[in-house]
Amino acid sequence: MARSAVGVVFCNIQDKNIPELSALRAIASVPFAGRYRLIDFALSNLVNAGITTVGIVTKNNYQSLIDHIGSGKDWDLARKDGGIILLPPYSNETDAPYTNRLEALKGVMSFLRHRNEDYVVLYDGDGVARLDITDVVRFHEQAGADITMVYQETMGTPSHYYMTLETGADNRVSAVSINPVLGQKKVNQYMNVMVMQREYLMNIIQNAAQSGLSSFGRDILSKNVDYIKIYGYKFDGYYAGMASLSAYFKANMDMLDKNIRDELFGARDIYTKVRDSAPSKYMNGCAVKNSLISDGCYIEGTVENSILFRGVKVGKGSVVKNSVLMQDTVVGSSVRLDCVITDKNVVIRDRRNLAGCEELPYYIAKGKML
C-alpha cells in the first residue's frame, strides 16, 4: 500500500435496513453465505490492503459482534500496535450515545488523534464485495481528492438510508442525493465506503461539532460538492448492499453463482472466525443440488438451491428449497421449506410445511421452535 491508512468500521449505522436480522445483533454481524458475517468482507478488504489498525464503531446489540471478532486473530488483527480497536459508544449523564454518523465520529476522535496513518477508510460493515482498497487510496491520491466515495452503477434499490452520486467525466462528484425516490433507472449508488486524509476528517468532525451539524451526508457531502473535492471511485465487481430482507435473501442466493463465488472467494482471502466443527456428513439417500453447505451439517433429506450454515441438520424425507438456514437450525423429518430464512438455533418439527416467496421470504427468528 502506497501510503498508510487506518480503517473505521461502522457496525450499527445501517441497522434499520434489515430490522428482522438486526433486532438481536448489529447489522455488521449478520450471518452470510454459510460461514461468514457481513463484517468479514469489510475487515478482509481492509486487511488485504495492508491495513493493520481497524476501529470498530458500535452502538447497541453488539454482543454477537464482539464474540465474532474476539481478539481479531482470525483477520491477523491481534496486534501489539493497532489491530482491532473496539470503540463502543461514549455516553454520560449529559450526553446520550450517538444518533448519527457525525456524533459517532466525534466519539472516536481520540482514536483518530492517536494514530499516525495518513488516511482513514470509513467503511459501513453491511456490504458484500471484494474491494481493492489499495486501488481506492491510489485513486484518491492521484485525483487529489478531499474525499473519495466508492460507488456502483446500478438499478436503484430503495432502502432506509442510501446515497446516490452524480459524477462528471473526471469522476468529480457534482451532486450527492440522500434517500432519493428511485424509479427504474440507472443510478450511481454509494457503497458506504469512503476515503479521506485522517487530518481532514478530524477537521470535519471539529467544525461540525462547533457549528452544530448533524448529518454527514447532508451537511458535509451534499451541501459542499462545489467547495470540496469529492471524487467517485467506480466499482465494477460484485456488490450486494443489504437494503432489505429480500435483498439479503437474494445476495445469499447470488453465492450459488460460480462466477460470483469465484470473484469473492476464489483467492481464499475472505477471513472469518473459525469454529472447530466436524466436516459435513452426507447420509445415504440424501440429495443435494445447487447448494452451499458449511461444516458440521448432517443431511439425510433433499436440499436444493439453498445455503446451509454450520451445524444444520436436515432430517429424512424433508425437502429444503430456495432457503437460507442459519447456524444450528434443525429441520426434522418430512418437512417442506421453500423461500425460508431461519435464524440461528431454529427448530422445525416433523411434517411442517413453510413457504415464503423471493420478494418476501418467510423469516423465522432466532431460537424459535415450530
Partner 1 sequence: MQRKKECVAMLLAGGQGSRLYALTNKIAKPAVAFGAKYRIIDFPLSNCVNSGIDTVGVLTQYEPMELNEYIGNGQPWDLDRSFGGVHILSPYQAKKKSSWYEGTANAIYQNMNFMKKYNPDYVLILSGDHIYKMNYAKMVRAHIESNADCTIAAIEVPIQEASRFGILNVRDDGSIYQFEEKPKVPKSNLASMGIYVFSAEKLYKYLEMDDQNSTSSKDFGKDVLPAMLAAGEKMMSYRFEGYWKDVGTIPALWESNMDLLGVDPAFDVSDPTWKIHSRNPLAPPEYISETGKVDNSMIALGCEISGNVYNSVLSSNVVVEQGATVTDSIIMSGTVIKSGASVQYSVIDEHVTVGNNAVVGEEKAHAQGITVLGRDITVADGAVVSSGAIIDKDYKGD
Nearest alpha carbon to residue 26 among 35, 14, 44, 34: 14
- Site for partner 1 contains 314 (CB under 8 A): no
- Site for partner 1 contains 115 (CB under 8 A): no
Of 90-98, 117-125, 136-144, 278-286: span binding partner 1 (CB under 8 A): 278-286
Q: Provide CB contacts within 8 A for 332, sequence distance 6+.
A: 315, 318, 347, 348, 349, 350, 351, 352
- Site for partner 1 contains 38 (CB under 8 A): no
- Site for partner 1 contains 278 (CB under 8 A): yes
> CA torsion sign, 106 to 219 to 176 to 60?
positive
Of the residues 96, 274, 369, 370, which one makes contact with partner 1 according to CB under 8 A: 274
Of the residues 73, 79, 106, 229, which one makes contact with partner 1 according to CB under 8 A: 73
Write down the least CB distance from residue 37 to partner 1, Å.
Answer: 13
Distance CA 290, CA 80 (A): 43
- Site for partner 1 contains 295 (CB under 8 A): yes
Number of residues near partner 1 (by CB under 8 A) = 41
Q: Are 129 and 151 contacting, i.e. CB atoms less than 8 angstroms apart?
A: no
Instruction: Say which residue the cell 471524487 belongs to.
Output: 231
Calculate the alpha carbon distances from 123 to 2, 11, 55, 95, 326 in Å. 19, 9, 10, 25, 25
Q: Rounded to the nearest 5°, which phi and psi values hold at 139? A: -60, -45
Of the residues 31, 34, 232, 315, which one makes contact with partner 1 according to CB under 8 A: 34
- Site for partner 1 contains 80 (CB under 8 A): no
Of 174-182, 229-237, 275-283, 358-366: span binding partner 1 (CB under 8 A): 275-283
* Interface residue list for partner 1 (CB under 8 A): 33-36, 73, 255-256, 258, 261, 264-265, 268-271, 274-296, 298, 307-308
